[in-house]
Amino acid sequence: MPPGIPLAPPQASTFAPGVDHLFLFLLGVTGSVAILVFVLIFIFAVKYRRRSPDEVPPRVHETMFLEVAWIGIPFLLMLVMFGWGAEIYYEEFHPPPGSLEIFVVGKQWMWKLQHPEGKREIDELHVPVGRPVKLTMTSEDVIHDFFIPAFRIKKDVLPGRYSSLWFEATKTGTYHFFCSQYCGTNHSEMKGWVVVMNPAEYQQWLSGGAGGETMEQAGARLFQKLACTNCHRSDNSGRAPTLVGVYGRPVKLVDGSTVMADDAYIRESILRPAARVAAGYQPIMPTFQGQVNEESILQLIAYIKSLKIPESPERMKAAP
Amino acid sequence: MSTLSVEEPEQAESRVHYLNVHYGVKSWLLTTDHKRIALLYLASITLFFLVGGSAAVLIRMNLLTPTGLLVEPATYNKLFSIHGIVMVFFFLIPSIPAVLGNFLVPLMIGARDLAFPKLNLLSWYVYIVGGLFTLYAVIAGGVDTGWTFYAPYSSTYSNTHVMAAALGVFITGFSSILTGLNFIVTIHKMRAPGMTWFRLPLFIWAMYATSVIFILGTPVIGITILLIALERAAHLGIFNPALGGDPLLFQHLFWFYSHPAVYIMILPAMGVESELITCFSKKRIFGYSFVAMSSLAIALLGFLVWAHHMFVAGVSMYAGMVFSILSYLVAVPSSVKVFNWTATLYKGSISYEAPMLYGMGFIGLFSMGGVTGMFLASLGMDVHVHDTYFVIAHFHYIMVGGAVMAYLGGIHFWWPKISGRMYPEGWARFSALIIFLGFNLTFFPQYILGYLGMPRRYPVYPPEFQVLNVMSTAGASILGVGYLIPLIYLIWSMRYGPVASSNPWGAKGLEWQAPSPPPTDNFEETPVVTAQAYDYPSREVEVA
């Protein structure tokens, strides 16, 4: 390999060293088996080359032992490859509690990101080093994919649902992110930079510039503006259930089943309210499809998430 | 050393055989002779190979510079889409089954033709109609969905000629189903006396397994494409969430066919490989029953691994784990074949005519593709390299390094039988060598590109990936020349090649008992089989 060609992307997340170790393991094991086969073929090819046209080769007796060995041994090795890969995959599905949440919306052909504190950015993602970050992602149109090679992670970003991705950056710096699911004409332009900063710099970046409105506040404003409050009253006196304390709890539905009030359920209830109606209520809510975009929905969810059951009666009056 | 034989020259010139029995376009377009239909397929898939190959040349040229050397991204997207659609559905899937399979299945089992000769001709016409739809899509302005047609991009967002291209794929699927049906019935019912199941050449086992996939898998891609058409034309909400559909449903349905389709491409190649290795080492295959059964195992297990294309698509963690371990399971029968081929060489009498060089190249490239599949089946690894050039390199090693090498090896091996002429050996060896070298230079750098994180389907890429891309393009130009040389000398040899004997390689197998080229009815009298496959003479030696 000529000098100057990198052989691996930078290692900048807690996953990266593990994935690279797995890569070296796979390379070592499969490489050894392949080289063994190639060397045998080479030796046979030279040693047993035909020396005269009427040569008659000796009979070779087949042994069951060989067949069993070359079925069994590779399979045992494969079980290790499976287990190791599955372990990493398991971790990638389990963000640590208390991760910093950042929201990602993909659309043809740009990435829109918002931080809970209100900071919004396009095709750039600023994160602090050494802190787990969880991305909650959705798409406004086709399927995209958020891929950060330096972190060794990616996940498809689908329309109509939330997917999530988490990482903990280990090194400050600027790293590529790409859309890696083909999404149309300018697919290859749908990329950007992850900027990993020291926590102090990150805080400074968060508070810098315009904005000022957190996602929660933006959601509260929307909740008023869209007149959600007319029915979803905090004291449960409206024609719709109160949303105070609903987030993360089971909701009884008219058909007797229950559903967890998570991001997906809230999103569905805004866009297709009749899909799963809470028990005891009429399906009278209009759809907000077309009135709210994915970013607004995320803000509404952030607001609903913040509506905790108050500890004291005074605060109840303050809640909507 | 060569066993080329120029004996019996009077035979081919004066004798009536399937090529000179009738003349004229009509005698070809209305033929029901499986050998003539094989040649119709040979000509048509070669044309499609040239279409798909030209697209590949433009793709590689464009990637010479990070900003795209030749074309706009929209055009680039159409190029890789047509490259994929044409190469997968109109070249690779019909390649070995429809050309070599059609020619050889009756000959190898001692039959006069396939069970349903008219159906066989219909298969070709269906294939051509499907191909015309797809070519229309290209000429009318192209299609930009990729060969994977992922929804909702294909069903709602793309404003290119998706319907025509998809309809082409839909129609050509019936051709596969009919061919599969024909092969299965033929292999069951028309074997010559004494040709028991375990005396069948391994190529026949491979064709049988492939036909099973044709019949079980192809209807699913047909249905999937119909659903796309319904959503596109009638706005039925099937895949697009904005209409109430589920985009992952599309991927499940698509890969339920398209993963087994990979085995449609590689199983026949493995069948060819078993014929080449045994003939050119004068040995019975090591572990006949293991090689035969591994074909069936691949065909069946191949239906249980589709979601390994979806590890990062949004399937659950447990689904990922189940499909990961199933993917390792299907790797076992493939590796069994490689080990058995290697063991077949042991103490053989190995000679290196061009078909064997292609055969050796196949083992090398297929193994490289196979072991990198081990990387992709490992979940944590796949998450990083999924949808990158690592995957591109992996499946080109299997489908081009594996399937196309074996196809070319098979074409050279049976060329004397097909054309009655020998190809020029020196040129053939030379082209085998430069295809092998060109292939590796093209695709090996792509493994590194993928690990570095270069996503697939990118006309514009970060400048640090340029050196590897230039290497890959350089390799592709060598590879392209490598593919053109056989095209030229094979056509040349049809007229000017030395006349071939009925069995120039001294091979076993019923097809070599028929004259070269065979008469329309293949055998003057029905052969009776009394020996196992690959019954090459061997001497008993004292075991120390």
pLDDT tens-digit map of B392-413: 999 999 999 999 999 999 999 9
Q: Which of A207, A226, A251 is the last residue of a domain?
A: A207
Confidence tier at B538 by pLDDT (50, 70, 90): confident
- For B153, the closest chain A residue by CA position comes to A142
Confidence tier at B140 by pLDDT (50, 70, 90): very high
Contacts with B462 from chain A: Cβ below 8 Å: 176
Contacts with A153 from chain B: Cβ below 8 Å: 383-384
Q: What is the 3-state secondary structure (H, E, C) of A103-130?
A: EEEEECCEEEEECCCCCEEECEEEEECC
CB A178 within 8 A of CB B465: no
Dist. CA A236–CA A229, nearest whole Å: 11
Residue with tokens 């750039």: A124
Q: What string of DSSP letters covers A194-239?
A: EEEE-HHHHHHHHHSSS----HHHHHHHHHHHTTGGGTB-TTS-SS
Whether A202 and A220 map to the same domain: the answer is no
Q: Count of A–B CB contacts within 8 Å?
A: 277
Residue B266 lies in a domain: yes
Residue A47 lies in a domain: no
The two tokens of residue B365 are: 């490239």
Dist. CA B135–CA B362, nearest whole Å: 31
Number of domains in chain B: 1
Residue B426 lies in a domain: yes
Residue B60 lies in a domain: yes
Subunit contact A85:B371, Cβ cutoff 8 A: no
The pLDDT assigned to A233 comes to: 87
Q: Which of A45, A88, A158 comes nearest B345 by C-beta?
A: A45
Subunit contact B1:A62, Cβ cutoff 8 A: no
Residue B44 belongs to a domain with what CATH number? Answer: 1.20.210.10
Radius of gyration of chain A (CA): 28
The pLDDT assigned to B542 comes to: 53
Radius of gyration of chain B (CA): 23
Subunit contact B540:A84, Cβ cutoff 8 A: no
Residue A276 belongs to a domain with what CATH number? Answer: 1.10.760.10
For residue B355, give the nearest of B423, B263, B267, B419 by alpha carbon: B423
Whether A163 and A258 map to the same domain: the answer is no
* Overall average pLDDT of the B325-331 stretch: 95
Helices (H) and strands (E) in chain B, counts: 18, 0
CB B107 within 8 A of CB B522: yes
Dist. CA A155–CA A170, nearest whole Å: 20
Q: What is the DSSP letter of B460?
A: S
B474-514 pLDDT tens trace: 999 999 999 999 999 999 999 999 999 999 999 999 999 99
Number of domains in chain A: 2
| Average pLDDT over all residues of chain B | 93
Residue B532 lies in a domain: no
Dist. CA B332–CA B317, nearest whole Å: 24
Q: Which residues of B252-264 are buried (b: 16+ CB within 10 A; e: fewer)?
A: bbbbbbbbbbbbb
The two tokens of residue A186 are: 């300018």
For β-strands A173-179 and A120-122, DSSP reports them as unpaired
Residue A147 lies in a domain: yes
The two tokens of residue B370 are: 């196979």
B61 burial level (CB within 10 Å; 0-12, 13-18, 19+): middle
Which structural domain range is residue A279 located in?
215-318
Whether A189 and A231 map to the same domain: the answer is no
Residue with tokens 């049906």: B181
Contacts with B328 from chain A: Cβ below 8 Å: 75, 78-79, 81-82
Q: Rounded to a whole number, what is the distance in Å from the CA of B539 to chain A's nearest CA?
A: 5
Subunit contact B242:A159, Cβ cutoff 8 A: yes
- For A82, the closest chain B residue by CA position comes to B378
Whether A193 and A268 map to the same domain: the answer is no
Runs of H (alpha helix) within B453-540: 466-496
CB B445 within 8 A of CB B472: yes
- B415: preceding bond cis by omega (within 30 degrees): no
What percentage of chain B has pLDDT greater than the value 90? 92
Q: Which of B336, B349, B381 comes nearest A55 by C-beta?
A: B349
Total number of residues shown for chain B: 544
Q: Which of B157, B345, B382 comes nearest A44 by C-beta?
A: B345
Residue with tokens 């070995």: B96
Range of weakest confidence among A252-266, B33-47, B71-85, B441-455:
A252-266
Dist. CA B127–CA B99, nearest whole Å: 13
Runs of H (alpha helix) within B190-282: 202-234, 247-281
Q: Which of A172, A187, A207 is the last residue of a domain?
A: A207
The pLDDT assigned to A4 comes to: 62
CB A139 within 8 A of CB A181: no
Residue A65 lies in a domain: no
Dist. CA B404–CA B49, nearest whole Å: 11
Subunit contact B363:A37, Cβ cutoff 8 A: yes
Q: Is the dihedral of CA A210, A216, A221, A222 positive or negative?
A: positive
Dist. CA A48–CA A191, nearest whole Å: 55
The two tokens of residue B319 are: 């689904």
Q: Does residue A278 sit in helix, strand or coil?
A: strand
B351 pLDDT above the threshold of 80: yes
Whether A271 and A301 map to the same domain: the answer is yes
Subunit contact A56:B282, Cβ cutoff 8 A: yes
Subunit contact A37:B283, Cβ cutoff 8 A: no
Q: What is the pLDDT along chain A (320 residues), one digit of tens a residue?
A: 445 677 889 999 999 999 999 999 999 999 999 999 999 999 999 999 999 888 889 888 888 899 999 999 999 999 999 999 999 999 999 999 999 999 999 999 999 999 998 888 999 999 999 999 999 999 999 999 999 999 999 999 999 999 999 999 999 999 999 999 999 999 999 999 999 999 999 999 988 765 678 888 889 999 999 988 888 988 888 888 889 888 988 999 988 899 999 999 999 999 989 889 998 888 889 989 888 988 899 999 999 998 887 665 554 444 44
Contacts with B368 from chain A: Cβ below 8 Å: 34
Residue B401 lies in a domain: yes
* Overall average pLDDT of the B259-284 stretch: 95
Dist. CA B127–CA B117, nearest whole Å: 16
Whether A200 and A105 map to the same domain: the answer is yes
Confidence tier at B341 by pLDDT (50, 70, 90): very high
Q: Rounded to a whole number, what is the distance in Å from the CA of A50 to chain B's nearest CA?
A: 5
Q: Give the alpha-carbon dihedral of B501, B504, B506, B510, to 10 degrees.
A: -60
Residue A78 lies in a domain: no
**H/E segment holding residue A133:** strand A132-139
Whether A167 and A233 map to the same domain: the answer is no
The pLDDT assigned to B13 comes to: 58
* Overall average pLDDT of the B321-350 stretch: 95
Subunit contact B453:A182, Cβ cutoff 8 A: no
Which structural domain range is residue B149 located in?
25-512
B156-200 pLDDT tens trace: 899 999 999 999 999 999 999 999 999 999 999 999 999 999 999
Residue A118 belongs to a domain with what CATH number? Answer: 2.60.40.420
Residue B427 lies in a domain: yes
Residue A54 lies in a domain: no
Whether A223 and A284 map to the same domain: the answer is yes
B1 pLDDT above the threshold of 90: no
Q: Which of A163, A178, A207 is the last residue of a domain?
A: A207
Q: Which of A18, A142, A154 comes nearest B157 by C-beta?
A: A142
Confidence tier at B4 by pLDDT (50, 70, 90): very low
Residue with tokens 């090529």: B19
Whether A134 and A151 map to the same domain: the answer is yes
The two tokens of residue B352 are: 């290196």
What percentage of chain B has pLDDT greater than the value 70? 97
- For B373, the closest chain A residue by CA position comes to A30
Residues 6+ apart with CB under 8 A from B276: B355, B356, B358, B359, B362, B406, B409, B410, B413
Residue B523 lies in a domain: no
Confidence tier at B10 by pLDDT (50, 70, 90): very low
The two tokens of residue A215 are: 């996602």
The pLDDT assigned to A237 comes to: 82
